[in-house]
Amino acid sequence: AGKGFWAELLGVGDFYYELGVQIIEVCLALRHRNGGLIRLQELQLQVQKGRGKFAQDVSQDDLLRAIKKLKVLGNGFGIIPVGGTFLVQSVPAELSMDHTVVLQLAEKKGFVTVSEIQASLKWETERAKQVLDHLLREGLAWLDAQAPAEPQFWLPALFSELRPHEEPPATP
């Protein structure tokens, strides 16, 4: 036993376990900013930075494999599919199907409003508000109550994909 038959045969054990450590460290460092939710590309960027110029490249697939192994540690690691890519969760926050679907909706612009949820998902106001409140409480969303038309709920995890003319609110 020990390292395992397959790890020894294919020689890949250490690579993924070390990557696991680096993923944990990056998520911990950014948690105060994004509430424990981060885009896979962002994670890849930060991990590569931490590994240094001369280290082996890390693919998104590598990250996903390492994260799947980390789940067994019970500290809330999860992978959420959104708009063709993934969000990586690193805190034990309960995210239901409803929460996930709102995250997917917010993915395009980095924020979402109650009206948008009503229009796209055909939910009642109450349901939309409950989901958004939960995201706020968990620290995954920030509220811009002073947006022109109606309050906007911004997701820090999605910030890196913003186009130039859209800006996040100044204070969380």
Partner 1 sequence: MDRFSWTTGLLELGETLVVQQRGVRLGDGEEKVKFGSGVLLLSTHRLIWRDQKNHECCIAVPLSQIVFIEEQAAGIGKSAKIVVHLHPASSKKEPGPFQSSKYSYIKLSFKEHGQIEFYRRLSEEITQRRWESMPTGQAMQVNKDSQAGRIRAVGIVGIERKLEEKRKETDKNISEAFEDLSKLMEKAKEMVELSKSIASKIKEKQGDITEDETIRFKSYLLSMGIANPVTRETYGSGTEYHMQLAKQLAGILQAPLEERGGIMSLTEVYCLVNRARGLELLSPEDLVNACKMLESLKLPLRLRIFDSGVMVIELQSHNEEEMVAAALETVSEKGSLTADEFAKLVGMSVLLAKERLLLAEKMGHLCRDDSVEGLRFYPNLFLTQS
- What amino acid occupies position 3? K
Q: How far is the CB of 8 from partner 1 (least distance, A)?
A: 8
Q: Measured between alpha carbons, how far is residue 9 from residues 3, 6, 13 in Å?
A: 10, 5, 10
If one asks whether residue 17 binds partner 1 (CB under 8 A), the answer comes out as: yes
Using DSSP's 3-state secondary structure scheme, residue 129 falls into helix
Whose Cβ is closer to partner 1: residue 127's or residue 137's? 137
Q: Which stretch binds partner 1 (CB under 8 A): 44-52, 100-108, 136-144, 154-162?
A: 136-144
Helices 97-106, 114-121: inter-axial angle, 10-degree rounding: 110
If one asks whether residue 143 binds partner 1 (CB under 8 A), the answer comes out as: yes
To the nearest 10°, the Cα dihedral for 49, 156, 163, 122? 140
Question: Between 45 and 84, how does the x/- string for binding to partner 1 read (CB under 8 A)?
Answer: ------------------------xxxxxxxx--------
Binds partner 1 (CB under 8 A): choice among 50, 81, 92, 115: 92
Whose Cβ is closer to partner 1: residue 82's or residue 132's? 132
Three-class DSSP labels, 131-169: HHHHHHHCCCCEEECCCCCCCEEECHHHHHHCCCCCCCC
Q: Which residues would be at the binding site for partner 1 (CB under 8 A)?
A: 1-7, 9, 13-14, 16-18, 20-21, 24-25, 31, 69-76, 91-92, 133, 136-137, 139, 143
